[in-house]
Structure 1
Amino acid sequence: MALVEMAPVTLRKAELHASVGDPVLDTMNFLNEITHRYPQAVSFAPGRPYDGFFDVEEIFRHIRRYLDHLVEGGATPGEIRDALFQYGPTAGQIRELVADSLRKDENIDVRPEAVVVTVGCQEAMFLALRALFAGPQDALLVSSPCYVGITGAARLLGIEPTAVAEGQGGFRCADLEVALAAEKARGRRPRAFYVVPDHSNPSGSTMPLDERHALLDLAARADFLILEDSPYRLVSPGRQLPTLKSLDTDRRVVHLGSYSKTLFPGARVGFAVADQLVVDEDGRQGLLADELTKIKSMVTVNTSPLSQAAVAGMLLAADGRTSELNTETSAYYGEAMRAILKRLDECFPEPGRSALGVRWNEPAGGFFLTVDVPFPADNAALVRSAEEHGVIWTPMSYFYPQGGGEHSLRLSVSYLTQADIAEGTARLARFIASEAARTR
């Protein structure tokens, strides 16, 4: 019998979920492509920790330290084996250590049961959104410009975020109050507001203390939750302002955290602190963390026990104080930020800077700063920058959920040496001057 040759299946993109056509996914892929296409360019694009602080052999010592900790706690050989080789509890097997670290580092005092250990902070975002947003009437508001991870996760779940624009000085609670009123006027229920209050990605801005108190007060009055994502605090120099969660007396804040910046990104260990009470139809009470755990059981099942063991060993080595582990890294990133601000001043002295229409902010910490330029900082300009001047940056328009940032670019200093920063800024200055002349 003759075999009939069948044509391979072809899928129509229009029949896939709308999120696969989201421009954010295409733009980040484009940025990765540019980085690989021009490997000799100095790249201010990746928000990655500096490689110089990583030691491969340390990972084995971290895991051994955690295993010794289990022995000291009375674990049997079988239990220790399972702690590395088996799936482990969905909510995480190092919740006690995470809660202890949060208490010592951030003055966030919650029971271990309120912590869910996740696959990076990205999963924590996804779980929180899935649990909290029940239908199209629920509104997610985000401080804009905004980290693309939250907008991407929201759109995967069919949630269209509402942007609350930052001013020149960063987030202002009055602007959020206006946005909340607008959402309610549309018949929607503001459910949560997402914000990076410290050295934010992408703008580098930090929320003042009075605005933090005002935000918590507004959350109580307007009845919404705050999704706090603050990964850059403990890798920034100087004393940090208190987290929103540490100031939270009404359990309004779901704190989303990660060890990617403070310990190492390859572990992919994050967490959610969700101590909000949840009451079912029969009056039984639990925690929001329990609901996140149920969802996680159908998403990733659990977070890698090996990764948790490595992170746990690092926490044990510092007695839970990751801030002390990051004394050297905080100083390094602080010096990197000061270096690029100094170099920008040298490359764009006044009064020529103002005449050209170039300005930048001056973050006190974190990985990022933004530069305003007198031309469209789009993908075409990025290609010319990489190809003709050997420098890569990120268009700020990527980070505006509802449009904006067309004349701004984001620079990240975390992954570069001082020499890279000096050379890269000189190249950037030549590109900006060339592009400004081109568009006159």
Structure 2
Amino acid sequence: MEWKPNRHSHLTIHQQIVNWIKQRIQSGEWPIHTKLPTQRKLAEAMGVNRSTIVNAIEELVADGILSTRVGDGTYVSNNSWNVLIKDIHPDWEKHISSSIYEPNFQTIQLINEYEQRENIIRLGTGELSPDLLPTAVLQRSLQNVPLTARDIGYSEPKGSRQLRHALSRYATKRGIHATPDSIMIVSGALQALQLISLGLLEPGSTVFQEAPSYLNSVRPFQSAGMRIVSLDKENRDNRLPDQIISMKGKKQSLFYTVPTLHNPTGSIMSLDERRELLQICAYQQIPIIEDDVYHGLAFGKTPPSLKSLDSDGQVLYIGSMSKTLSPGLRIGWVIGPEPVIDRLADIKMQTDYGSSAFSQQIARHWLESGLYEEHIDQLREQLKRRADFVEEILQLRYNSIATWNKPAGGFYIWLRLHEPLVNKALFLKLLKQNVLINPGYIYDAKDFYHIRLSYAYASFEQLETGLNILYEAIAEGTS
């Protein structure tokens, strides 16, 4: 054996010896079960202390590359090749498991996977049916969208100024007075939440939400290290103000809410409730995130938005076209105090350098031409027909096993079974029958009673078939 460690190397003598033994095994010179030279012989041949050899061998034994037999020396381990292969390649599993961003729950991962399959009946999806998207009108309108080289380049940090002017005028119709400088374009409402979690809160901050909550199914704040606190509005013994005060803590806080057509319940917060929430949060100095992506889809008149009632700049308002015009456009917006919008825009530029320029120009044209509001009026009528159709089926078949509220708009009916049958087993059982539901436990881990039914995506025929299959699965569970 002619090899000796290089005493001028940046590696320690110990590490060089460990690497040399590994190389002998990897190259096949020392196959499995090979007996190594004695520690004394190795030390003499390498010109090192025996203790250095002992330490190197102990490390390789601990790693499973070598094994020792009492009174019989040291051998190459049976498992040495597998261990060395792992040692060569990056441990991606370790990288994944220790990363910052929280993985989705398995049920949500399955929902995301199976929603893409054409044979699946989607009874819970938060997306418009292709039949409800104004594809033909969108295509025709492209001919009327003026594009210059500047229009299709990188936009300003806050997004297209033309679109922000159009959104400023649009917001005014809802009583929200916002200058273009206090508006930022985002790639959908979810990106707005991610930017807020990164730019406005310290680790360990408290994010209040109403239970159940859409936030539990997407987890942007959880991944940023925030403490999520679900509040029970129906708890008469512990009112909302008392819950907030007792759970606020010493770190920063904010309150996330969907006051109009709440996701997943479809409920609408009353005007008195909105005023009380503003008052509570103002007193506790808690900013509010108002997620208002469904407001245009209400079947009747709704109370004014929280932002329109806000006189102190405490509300960050989120809007989007994903639930109304096209999820593929990826156009949403945030309205708030200018310093906050400046901060969020700076972070957005660090992450994606701006939302799609083409999408922004299309959105601007639809707002300025009146096409958007015309489409919303038609969409609302179509959703109302679908809601009535689903409720008729529920009245015929589900009265004995569940309760629900008449839908007030949007996409969803929050169906409550009489028994806690909405578990993973039911979800998987339906999946085998090509029916996909959104179970209540993805919005509240303890909820095994509810299903978020959506009438917005599946066809009328699929809705009837899917609801019949769901009924039979529930009936089998109760028998």
Task: Specify if TM > 0.5.
Answer: yes
Does the 8 Å CA contact 2:217/2:442 hold for their aligned counterparts? Answer: no
Task: Give the corresponding residue for 1:419.
Answer: 461
Give 1:431 deviation, angstroms.
1.7
CA deviation string 1:301-350 (max 9, x = no partner): 1111011011111112207xx4433111001111211221121110134x
User: What percentage of residue pairs aligned between the two structures are identical?
Assistant: 23
CA deviation string 1:79-127 (max 9, x = no partner): x21211x1121210121111111112x2211111000001111111112
Shift in CA distance, 166/422, structure 1 to aligned 2, threshold 3 Å: farther
Question: Partner letter of residue 327 of structure 1?
Answer: D
Does the 8 Å CA contact 1:143/1:163 hold for their aligned counterparts? Answer: yes
Task: Give the corresponding residue for 2:57.
Answer: none
Task: Give the corresponding residue for 1:432.
Answer: 474
Does the 8 Å CA contact 1:109/1:246 hold for their aligned counterparts? Answer: yes
Task: Give the corresponding residue for 1:177.
Answer: 241
Matches within 5 A, 1:139-178: 139-148=206-215, 152-167=219-234, 175-178=239-242
Which residue, 343, 346, 356 being the options, matches 2:393? 343
Does the 8 Å CA contact 1:236/1:334 hold for their aligned counterparts? Answer: no
Task: Give the corresponding residue for 1:265.
Answer: 327
Give 1:179 deviation, angstroms.
2.3
Question: Partner letter of residue 439 of structure 2?
Answer: P
Does the 8 Å CA contact 2:422/2:451 hold for their aligned counterparts? Answer: yes
Unaligned stretches of 5+ residues in structure 1: 69-79, 276-285
How much is the aligned-residue C-alpha RMSD, in angstroms? 2.7
Residue 340 (structure 2) pairs with residue 288 (structure 1): yes
Give 1:54 deviation, angstroms.
3.0
Which residue, 284, 300, 309 being the options, matches 1:238? 300
Cα distance between partner residues in 2 of 1:218 and 1:205: 21
Matches within 5 A, 1:16-165: 16-17=97-98, 20=101, 22=103, 24-35=104-115, 39-67=118-146, 80-84=148-152, 86-93=153-160, 94-104=163-173, 106-136=174-204, 138-148=205-215, 152-165=219-232
Cα distance between partner residues in 1 of 2:336 and 2:142: 27
Cα distance between partner residues in 2 of 1:259 and 1:36: 21
Shift in CA distance, 166/415, structure 1 to aligned 2, threshold 3 Å: farther
Give 1:234 deviation, angstroms.
0.7
Cα distance between partner residues in 2 of 1:115 and 1:143: 26
Does the 8 Å CA contact 1:254/1:274 hold for their aligned counterparts? Answer: yes
Cα distance between partner residues in 2 of 1:332 and 1:173: 41
Question: Partner letter of residue 206 of structure 1?
Answer: I
Residue 220 (structure 2) pairs with residue 220 (structure 1): no
Task: Give the corresponding residue for 1:381.
Answer: 426
Cα distance between partner residues in 2 of 1:361 and 1:131: 38
Cα distance between partner residues in 2 of 1:160 and 1:17: 19
Shift in CA distance, 176/35, structure 1 to aligned 2, threshold 3 Å: same
Which residue, 422, 426, 438 being the options, matches 1:394? 438
Question: Partner letter of residue 362 of structure 1?
Answer: K
Residue 373 (structure 2) pairs with residue 332 (structure 1): no
Question: Partner letter of residue 223 of structure 1?
Answer: Q
Question: Partner letter of residue 232 of structure 2?
Answer: A
Shift in CA distance, 36/257, structure 1 to aligned 2, threshold 3 Å: closer
Cα distance between partner residues in 1 of 2:100 and 2:388: 39
Cα distance between partner residues in 2 of 1:67 and 1:177: 51
Cα distance between partner residues in 2 of 1:289 and 1:121: 14
Does the 8 Å CA contact 2:133/2:325 hold for their aligned counterparts? Answer: no
Cα distance between partner residues in 2 of 1:56 and 1:362: 30
Cα distance between partner residues in 2 of 1:150 and 1:131: 21
Does the 8 Å CA contact 1:62/1:311 hold for their aligned counterparts? Answer: no
Give 1:43 deviation, angstroms.
2.0
Residue 448 (structure 2) pairs with residue 406 (structure 1): yes
Does the 8 Å CA contact 2:156/2:354 hold for their aligned counterparts? Answer: yes
Cα distance between partner residues in 1 of 2:377 and 2:96: 51
Rg larger in 1 or in 2? 2
Give 1:188 deviation, angstroms.
2.4
Shift in CA distance, 134/20, structure 1 to aligned 2, threshold 3 Å: closer
Task: Give the corresponding residue for 2:41.
Answer: none
Does the 8 Å CA contact 1:117/1:270 hold for their aligned counterparts? Answer: yes
Does the 8 Å CA contact 2:101/2:224 hold for their aligned counterparts? Answer: no
Give 1:166 deviation, angstroms.
4.2
Cα distance between partner residues in 1 of 2:432 and 2:280: 48
Secondary structure at the aligned position of 2:126 is classed as coil
Give 1:363 deviation, angstroms.
2.5
Give 1:174 deviation, angstroms.
6.7
Unaligned stretches of 5+ residues in structure 2: 1-23, 28-83
Task: Give the corresponding residue for 1:301.
Answer: 353
Does the 8 Å CA contact 1:139/1:188 hold for their aligned counterparts? Answer: no
Secondary structure at the aligned position of 1:83 is classed as coil
Task: Give the corresponding residue for 2:10.
Answer: none
Secondary structure at the aligned position of 1:382 is classed as helix
Matches within 5 A, 1:201-216: 201-216=263-278
Secondary structure at the aligned position of 2:150 is classed as helix
User: Normalising by structure 1, what TM-score?
Assistant: 0.82
Question: Partner letter of residue 423 of structure 1?
Answer: T
Shift in CA distance, 149/91, structure 1 to aligned 2, threshold 3 Å: farther
Does the 8 Å CA contact 1:367/1:414 hold for their aligned counterparts? Answer: yes
Does the 8 Å CA contact 1:62/1:309 hold for their aligned counterparts? Answer: no
Residues paired across the two proteins, number: 394
